[in-house]
Amino acid sequence: MKSESYLSLSIAPFFLLLLLAFPSTTAQKSTRIGCGHSSQHRKMARVGGIQESRGAQNSAEVEDLARFAVQEHNNKENALLEFVRVVKAKEQVVAGTLHHLTIEAIEAGKKKLYEAKVWVKPWMGFKEEQEFKQADEEETPSVTSSDLGAKQGGHPPGWQSVPPHDPQVQDAANHAVKSLQQKSNSLLPYELLEVVHAKAEQVIEEHAKFNMLLKVKRGSKEEKFKAEVHKNMEGAFSLNHMEADHS
């Protein structure tokens, strides 16, 4: 009996050491696996290409984000920018969504383009302005007489392609959609989704014509229209012609 008790007491510390050793090894493996997964998860969360926003550039959600960006900029810089519209909207999947917005706003009575980045985490109710700056004029040119080839004493150069997101093109497109709505008997309003492509012609100084293909939405139905809008010397727009495009 004494020999058995002595044997048990001798073996007990050996088993105790084994129990302490194995869980430690398992825990280390578990920690390594967990860290690797966490690192991979963070990498996946942060990596994402910039793409066109799923919603329209003038959707309520995107417009709210743009207004938020302008307001945040005004608060931080003690500025008085007045939001006009969203010219272009893209998004990037990060830990949430990073919205890249091109915004038209009025500063000291003049319309200018600005680029903003707004980071959103919907599940946390989190929204933060990451960046707000004036857009590069070279990247976002405005339609001018020289762009259209108008020359003093020269003849009109004809139609020339212009950027669809140009402020004047967007103003002409919005005027066309507004005119379309006024002529419609439908209770559902037309909403401008996109200027697919645009051309402009300078007739005389400050008098231009815009020929555009517009993608619009009414309710759940999307349609395309060809529109020609004229701009007079006072800067006022008038719809000259508009028809459905079935191409």
**Per-residue tens of pLDDT for the chain, all 247 residues:** 544 554 455 555 555 555 555 444 443 433 333 333 334 333 333 445 677 766 555 578 889 999 999 999 999 989 899 999 888 888 888 788 888 999 989 888 888 899 999 999 888 888 999 999 988 654 444 555 444 544 334 444 578 888 888 888 888 999 999 999 888 887 888 999 999 999 988 766 567 899 999 999 988 899 999 999 998 877 889 999 999 988 7
pLDDT at position 75: 93
Choose among 96, 139, 146: nearest CA to 115: 139
pTM over 0.75: no
Cβ contacts of 203 within 8 Å, gap of 6 or more? 156, 209
Residue pLDDT, tens place only, 85-100: 888 888 888 788 888 9
Domains present along the chain, CATH in parentheses: 50-134 (3.10.450.10), 160-244 (3.10.450.10)
- For residue 151, the model assigns a pLDDT of 39
| H/E stretch holding 80 | none
**69, 129 Cβ separation under 8 angstroms:** yes
Phi, psi of 40 (to 5 degrees): -65, -40
* CA distances, 152 to each of 146, 204, 210 (Å): 10, 9, 21
Q: What is the C-alpha separation between 161 and 138, in angstroms, rounded?
A: 16
Q: Report d(CA 44, CA 47) in Å as an integer.
A: 5
- End-to-end CA gap in the chain: 101
Taking only the tens place, the pLDDT of each residue in 23-50 is 444 434 333 333 333 343 333 334 456 7
